[in-house]
A and B are shown apart, each in its own frame.
Chain A
Amino acid sequence: MSAADWRKAMNSGSGRAAMRVQGPVAVLPQEISFQFKNPLAARHVLVLLLVLTFPLFASPFFVYQIGAQSLALGLIALSLTFLGGYGGMVSLAQMTVAGIAGYLVAILGTSAVMEISMKWPWWVAVPFALAGATAAAAFIGWLSVRTEGIYTIMITLAMGVAFYYLCLQNYSIFNGFQGFQQVYAPSVAGINFREAEPFYYLALFWSLAGYFFIKYLLRTPFGIALQGIRDNPRRMNALGFNVTAHRVAAYAVAGAMAGVGGVLFTWYNNLVTPGSVGTSWMINVLVIAVLGGMRHPIGAFLGAIVFVLLQTFAIDMIDRERFNLVIGVVFLAIVLFSPDGLLGWWAGLKVKLTPRGGVR
């Protein structure tokens, strides 16, 4: 076989993936060079300072409903950004995994449903919940990864909805339509994590942990291999990497992260019901991830902040009834004109604003 034939064989079939990378506007991040730079720029310090001192100048409402909620949702969206942006598998089941973690915390821990909750202390219930979420994510991944990229959205959507109906119909474990109420964050060492400030710092801690973990993971051999698999699975397979195993592992990692976000989100809401894992929330998480931009992990949190602000204050600007329309139109505009979300729009703006010859 000639070299030209070899190249053709390597680049066709999964050539769609190659086409994607060469496409004019990609939804997936193209640069990997950023990972090897690590300057501590002014903006990093500024943002860190801002989030650390946020409770000092914001009202408890803002700290809790805007701050903590954005961080919890951002963590779940981050798992989607990791899986979709860096792994090439856009899974709509991240909210499902988060919901599984939330349900497990409610079932294993304390809630208003005395007949089902097992009342384990939080330091037992939470790790089990996270383990359960990771296992579920790996299972979902195993079912989804043996098909082509675009099938993943369909399959994960279908599985997410199946889980929703399971929660809705089953009363012996999931308590059906009512779900679990009064699922509270614990008090540890005298700090009551139900209060706005401690909970905010808890969410902030885990968000920062998730964010730095992802940034670190992407530079490890595993992370680089994952991105290689995203770009050209056939070639990676030929190089000896177990593509399926890598993908399932990526699902598991994303699942663990979504699980942490799910536990935080459940503690934020103080409840978990089938509505928390229904189609609207599943799509909301996708909207958040795309809104912020999947090219960098910070996009997930950006998208979450914008989403939560819109959700909370939409009723003051236009009717809250039309909230879905606003979200839909914003999402449509982003995908049509700036598929890299807010980050992509910002990057484009910076290019336009730098003096001529300036290239990022």
Chain B
Amino acid sequence: MSRTWKIFWAVVIGVPVVAFIAWALWDNTRLFAVTFLNGLTLGSLYFIVAAGFTLVFGLMRNVNLAHGSLYLLGGYLGFFVAQWTGWFTLALAAGFAAAALAGLLMQVTIFRFMQGQDLRQTMVTIALSIVIADLLMWGIGAQVHQLEPPAWLNGPLRGIPVINAYSSYRLALLPIGIAIGVALWLFLNRTRVGMMIRAGVDDRGMLAASGVNVNLVFAITFAIGAGLAGFGGVIGAVELSMVPGEDIRMLLASLVVVIVGGMGSVVGAAIGATILGLAETYGLAYAPTYSVVFTFVILVLVLAFRPRGILGRPA
């Protein structure tokens, strides 16, 4: 796009946004600040879930539409573990492990035999998502499952300037999301396996040709991606509760994050998640009826001008 067009679009999008921020700050500073925090923390949760999705897609070109069901699986299991043992960290680990195991099973027993058939893999994931969601509802029931935050994160944090009080658990989501992001980045950029994954994302054929056990790398990646979904599930079970239907919601959020941020890019997922989280919460706060339309408009804009996402790379 030429320079004039870039400036034109920057003005068309940027000016209303800046004007809105100025008005909102003047109108109700507290609401603006709280909404900003809400958006960042929601974005954190979306990032954790979407990072797994984009990792799997980036390396294996597998659009895993069962990602939401893995979220649900991890969340429910984490809930039960927390109930039996009373340890929140154990629940987190259990949620991660359960989803990772499920993901590993899926990769090793089904997807391994469908390399290259992207469409078929996607349809299998759709079928799996329907089956897993219904099995979970059959076994666990349709009741709402609300996980308790750990005792030291329970209740509001008081005395914050401007905002006064904010849910400490929700605030903790931000450092958790950042920690996961940093850990993922370190994993991808500072370990051997990470190096192999990055190489595979760039050129799968070359990776196989250089003697790496590609199936092992795929299995590890799928396990990590799925595990992240399960981990997100446990975290979400506290903030947003577990109920049938959450899987579709989280899947769609992951889709939008990855489309906006770019497929296969973890940094892109972070950017996309932040944008989505902020758009949703500001929409809900200032224009609840049309909050979803904002998300849609962002999606359409990104697709129209950068079809591969902000940091997307060619396939």
- Please tell me if the beta carbons of B307 and A286 are within 8 angstroms of each other in the complex: no
Q: Does A229 contact B (CB under 8 A)?
A: no
Counting contact residues on chain A (CB < 8 A from B), the size range is: 35 or more
Q: How many angstroms between the C-alpha atoms of A336 and B120 in the bound complex?
A: 8
The number of residues on chain B lying at the interface, defined by a beta carbon within 8 Å of a beta carbon of chain A, is: 43
Contact partner, A325, options B116, B131, B292, Cβ 8 Å: B131
Q: How far is the CB of B251 from chain A (nearest CB, A)?
A: 9
Q: Given A158-B256, A158-B259, are A325 and B123 also a contact pair (CB < 8 Å)?
A: no
Closest to B295 in A: A162
Q: Per-position contact with B for A129-162: 1 when CB-CB < 8 Å, else 0?
A: 0000000000000011011111101110111011
- Interface-facing stretch out of A19-27, A33-41, A60-68, A69-77: A19-27
- Which residues of chain B have C-beta atoms less than 8 A from A161's C-beta? 252
Q: Per-position contact with A for B32-62: 1 when CB-CB < 8 Å, else 0?
A: 0000000000000000000000000000010
- Which residues of chain B have C-beta atoms less than 8 A from A28's C-beta? 119
Q: How many angstroms between the C-alpha atoms of A329 and B61 in the bound complex?
A: 24
Q: How far is the CB of A141 from chain B (nearest CB, A)?
A: 12
- Please tell me if the beta carbons of A143 and B127 are within 8 angstroms of each other in the complex: no
- Which residues of chain B have C-beta atoms less than 8 A from A146's C-beta? 307
Closest to B297 in A: A162
- Please tell me if the beta carbons of A148 and B110 are within 8 angstroms of each other in the complex: no
Closest to A328 in B: B130
Q: How many angstroms between the C-alpha atoms of A322 and B139 in the bound complex?
A: 12
Closest to B126 in A: A283
Q: How far is the CB of B293 from chain A (nearest CB, A)?
A: 6
- Please tell me if the beta carbons of A90 and B119 are within 8 angstroms of each other in the complex: yes
- Which residues of chain B have C-beta atoms less than 8 A from A112's C-beta? none
- Please tell me if the beta carbons of B134 and A328 are within 8 angstroms of each other in the complex: yes
- Please tell me if the beta carbons of A328 and B252 are within 8 angstroms of each other in the complex: no
Q: How far is the CB of A83 from chain B (nearest CB, A)?
A: 13
- Please tell me if the beta carbons of B138 and A328 are within 8 angstroms of each other in the complex: no
Q: Does B289 contact A (CB under 8 A)?
A: yes
- Please tell me if the beta carbons of A20 and B303 are within 8 angstroms of each other in the complex: no
- Please tell me if the beta carbons of B292 and A162 are within 8 angstroms of each other in the complex: yes
- Which residues of chain A have C-beta atoms less than 8 A from B295's C-beta? 162
- Interface-facing stretch out of A117-125, A165-173, A193-201: A165-173
Q: Given A150-B63, A324-B133, are A157 and B255 also a contact pair (CB < 8 Å)?
A: yes
- Please tell me if the beta carbons of B293 and A166 are within 8 angstroms of each other in the complex: yes
- Which residues of chain A have C-beta atoms less than 8 A from B248's C-beta? 279
Q: How far is the CB of A251 from chain B (nearest CB, A)?
A: 14
- Please tell me if the beta carbons of B308 and A286 are within 8 angstroms of each other in the complex: no
Q: How far is the CB of B172 from chain A (nearest CB, A)?
A: 29
Most-contacted residue by chain A among B120, B256, B293 (CB, 10 A): B120
Q: How many angstroms between the C-alpha atoms of A290 and B255 in the bound complex?
A: 23
- Which residues of chain B have C-beta atoms less than 8 A from A23's C-beta? 116-117
- Please tell me if the beta carbons of B293 and A169 are within 8 angstroms of each other in the complex: yes
Q: How far is the CB of B57 from chain A (nearest CB, A)?
A: 9
- Please tell me if the beta carbons of A169 and B119 are within 8 angstroms of each other in the complex: no
- Which residues of chain B have C-beta atoms less than 8 A from A325's C-beta? 130-131, 134-135, 138
- Which residues of chain B have C-beta atoms less than 8 A from A329's C-beta? 127, 131
- Which residues of chain A have C-beta atoms less than 8 A from B263's C-beta? 151
- Which residues of chain A have C-beta atoms less than 8 A from B25's C-beta? none
Q: Does B174 contact A (CB under 8 A)?
A: no
Q: Given A324-B130, A325-B134, are A169 and B124 also a contact pair (CB < 8 Å)?
A: no
Give chain B interface residues in 107-134, CB to chain A under 8 Å.
Answer: 110, 116-120, 122-124, 126-131, 133-134
Q: How many angstroms between the C-alpha atoms of A153 and B118 in the bound complex?
A: 11
- Which residues of chain A have C-beta atoms less than 8 A from B120's C-beta? 25, 27, 335, 339
Q: How far is the CB of A321 from chain B (nearest CB, A)?
A: 8
Q: Given A154-B258, A324-B133, are A27 and B123 also a contact pair (CB < 8 Å)?
A: yes
Q: How many angstroms between the C-alpha atoms of A153 and B289 in the bound complex?
A: 27
- Please tell me if the beta carbons of A166 and B292 are within 8 angstroms of each other in the complex: yes
- Which residues of chain A have C-beta atoms less than 8 A from B256's C-beta? 158
Give chain A interface residues in 321-360, CB to chain B under 8 Å.
Answer: 321-322, 324-325, 327-329, 331-332, 335-336, 339
- Which residues of chain B have C-beta atoms less than 8 A from A8's C-beta? none
Closest to A329 in B: B131
Q: How many angstroms between the C-alpha atoms of A243 and B123 in the bound complex?
A: 26
- Please tell me if the beta carbons of A328 and B63 are within 8 angstroms of each other in the complex: no
Q: Does A219 contact B (CB under 8 A)?
A: no
- Please tell me if the beta carbons of A162 and B296 are within 8 angstroms of each other in the complex: yes
- Which residues of chain A have C-beta atoms less than 8 A from B304's C-beta? 143
- Which residues of chain A have C-beta atoms less than 8 A from B63's C-beta? 150, 153-154
- Please tell me if the beta carbons of B118 and A159 are within 8 angstroms of each other in the complex: no
Most-contacted residue by chain A among B135, B256, B296, B303 (CB, 10 A): B303
Most-contacted residue by chain B among A144, A168, A325 (CB, 10 A): A325
Among all A-B residue pairs, the 5 with the closest Cβ atoms: A328-B130, A332-B127, A165-B292, A162-B296, A328-B131
What residues make up the interface of B, taking CB atoms closer than 8 Å to A? 61, 63, 65, 110, 116-120, 122-124, 126-131, 133-135, 138, 248, 252, 255-256, 258-259, 263, 289-293, 295-296, 299-300, 303-304, 307-308, 315
Between A and B, 5 residue pairs with Cβ closer than 8 Å are A28-B119, A149-B119, A154-B255, A158-B255, A336-B110
Given contacts A20-B117, A90-B122, 6 further A-B pairs with CB under 8 A are A148-B315, A170-B290, A286-B126, A328-B128, A329-B131, A336-B110
